[in-house]
Structure 1
Amino acid sequence: MPATSVVGMRFSVTVGAVGPGRDPRGLAELARVAEESGWDALFLEDYLVYQGDESEPTWDPWVCLAAMAMTTSRIRIGTTVTPVPRRRPWKLAAEAVALDQLSGGRFILGVGIGDPNDPFMGRAGEPTEPRVLAEMLDEALEVIDRLWTGSPVSFAGKHYQLDGVRLAARPVQQPRIPIWVGGNLLVPAVRRRIARWDGSCAYKGSTDAPQQITPADVRALLAERAGPFDVKVSGGDPAEFAAAGATWWGRWIPPASTEDTLAVIRKGPPHI
C-alpha cells in the first residue's frame, strides 16, 4: 500500500521495545506490517528499562532498529527519543551512521535529555540534574554533527573533549541524518535547541500534566526556523495540523499484546 500524504503530512507509529512481541524479531515483523499498511514511519522509544518498570523485559532499541531496517524498504525508522546524555556521542554517531547505511538513508535520530527521574540512571551513578543533562545534550549534538562529516574533529567542551578524532564512515543522508528534538515545548532552551536542528517531536507541558500541542504552536515553531523543517505532532485533527504546516502526525501504542498492537497498525493511518 502506498504511503499516505495529505498537504505534505506523513504518518507514524511509535512503540516501546518492551514486553512480548516487541523484541527484535517481533519489531521487525511490526515494521513490515506497518509498511504494508501504509504508515510512513515506525519509531521506537529508547529506554534501558521501560519507564522505570523492571517487571517487563526491555529490548535494546538499536538492535531492534537494525532488524526493522532489514524487513522494510520504504518507511522511516528511528528513535523518539534517545536520551543522548547517557550515551558516548562518538559511539552514538557511529551507530546512527550504520543504521542509516543499513536502511538506505531512512533513519531519523530523535533526541532529548532523558528522564531526570529515571531510577535506573540514578542508581547507576549517571548525572540526573536537568541543567547538566541539557549541557551534555547540546555538546553531544555538536560532536555528533561534526563526526558525521568524516573530517577530523577537535572539540573542547565542558563534558566532552576530542583531539583530532575521525570517523570515516558517513551517513547516506546529507548534509546529515535528520535530528529531531524532543522535550517540553514550553521550556525556552528546548525551543532554542529545536530551532538549531532539523525537526521537533516535542511535547507540551510536564510529563505528569501534558498539554495538547495546537496548530498555533506549530505555526510558532515554523516561524522560529528558516528553511525545511519537520514538525511531528500527535492527537487532535491531522488535517488542521497539516494546514498549520506540521509534516508528521504520530500515534503512540502503549505496551500491549502482539495481537492488539498489530490490530492498530493494520488499520493504517488516518484518512484526511
Structure 2
Amino acid sequence: MKYGFVLSCGLDEVVELAQEAEAAGWDGIFLPDDWMAAWIKLTAIAMHTKRVLLGTMLTPLPEQDPWYVAAQTAILDRLSNGRIILTAGLGVLDLDKFGMQDNKVRAQRLDEALDILDHWWSGEEMRNFRYEGRYYRLQEMRADVDWRSHQPLQKPRIPIWVVGGPKQTQLRRAARWDGAVVTNSDKTLGAETLRERKAAILALRTSDRPLEFITEGETPADDPERAAAVVRPFAEAGATWWLESRWEWEGVSRNEEMRQRVRSGPPALR
C-alpha cells in the first residue's frame, strides 16, 4: 500500500511540509484544488522535492477549461520528472457554479473533459485535434506551438483518478480510468464497502493496466499500532492507497498538528 497526505495549508507552509513529508516516507502529496491555485503550489513543491507523487484531491473539472488543465498539468509533469496524478470530480455539489445545479450536467461535462485530456496527452499532433461534444467543441487548432513541450512525461498519459461511487455511471467511469477513489472521509464507508466497489469496478474494466483503489481517513500521530489498525482492514479489502486527510484541524494550532502528523510518517503494516 502507498500513503499520501492531503495538505490543507497556505503557500508559506506547504512547501516545507511537503519536504518533511517526503523525508518521513510519505509516497504522495495532495492538495485541495482551489481554482488552479493548487497547481501553482504543486509546482513550487515539485521544485523542492524529488520523489513524492503530486496531485489534487480533487479537481472540479466541470468548472474548469479542460484544455487549460491539460496544458498546465502536462507541463508540470515534465517539470516534476513524471510525478503528477490528476484526481477529477464533479466539484462541490451544493454550489451553483455556472448554473450547473444539475449533477447529470456536471457528470456529462466531466466525461467530455476527461476525453479531451486523454486526447491532449496522447502525443498526437494537436493542430489536427477536433472535438464535438454536447458541452465542449473544439475546432481544428492552429498555432505556432511546439506540442511536444506540452505533452506529459508519463506514458501513456498522466494517471487519472475519479470517484468510485455507488452509481452505475460512477462505477463505469472508475473502470475506464486509472484510479477509483472510494472515500472514507465522512467515516461512514467501511472496508467492506471498498471491497464491494472494487469487485463491481473490476467487473466492468476492459483494460489490463493496473487500477489503483484509493481511500482516505485519519490516523493518530502518537500511536503507531492504532494507526495501523485503522488502515489494515482497507488494505485487506484491496485498497492500494491510503490518503491521510483530516480536513478540520484545530484553530491556530492546525499547522503544528499537521506537521506532527506528517513527521510521524505513514502507518506501518506488519
Alignment TM-score, normalising by the size of structure 2? 0.82
Instruction: Give RMSD over aligned pairs.
Output: 2.2
Residue 254, structure 1, aligned to residue 247, structure 2: yes
**1:77 aligned to 34, 37, 54, which one?**
54
Task: Confirm or deny: 8 A CA contact 1:77 1:107 kept in the other structure.
Answer: yes
Partner of 2:14: 27
Partner of 1:201: 181
Partner of 2:223: none
1:255 offset after TM fit, Å? 4.2
Task: Confirm or deny: 8 A CA contact 2:195 2:238 kept in the other structure.
Answer: no
> Structure 1: which 5+ runs fail to align?
1-8, 17-21, 49-58
Partner of 1:239: 232
Residue 165, structure 1, aligned to residue 147, structure 2: no
Partner of 1:138: 111
Partner of 2:220: none
Count of residue pairs brought into register by the alignment: 242
Deviations along 1:130-175, one digit per CA (max 9) or x if unpaired, are 0100010000000111011232321100000112237442101000
**1-structure distance, mates of 2:203, 2:239:** 12
SS at match of 1:164: coil
**2-structure distance, mates of 1:129, 1:213:** 30
Partner of 1:45: 32
**1:96 aligned to 57, 73, 85, which one?**
73
1:237 offset after TM fit, Å? 4.2
Task: Confirm or deny: 8 A CA contact 2:191 2:233 kept in the other structure.
Answer: no
**2:195 aligned to 199, 210, 216, which one?**
216
Deviations along 1:206-249, one digit per CA (max 9) or x if unpaired, are x8784334352354134443421111113474334334432111
Task: Confirm or deny: 8 A CA contact 2:63 2:98 kept in the other structure.
Answer: no
**Which has the larger share of helix?**
2
Partner of 2:221: none
Alignment TM-score, normalising by the size of structure 1? 0.81
> Structure 2: which 5+ runs fail to align?
218-228
Partner of 2:43: 66
Task: Confirm or deny: 8 A CA contact 1:222 1:245 kept in the other structure.
Answer: no
1:126 offset after TM fit, Å? 4.2
Seq. identity, % = 37
**2-structure distance, mates of 1:99, 1:25:** 20
**1:10 aligned to 2, 15, 30, which one?**
2
Corresponding letter in the other structure for 2:190: Q
Corresponding letter in the other structure for 1:131: K
1:13 offset after TM fit, Å? 0.9
Task: Confirm or deny: 8 A CA contact 1:83 1:113 kept in the other structure.
Answer: yes
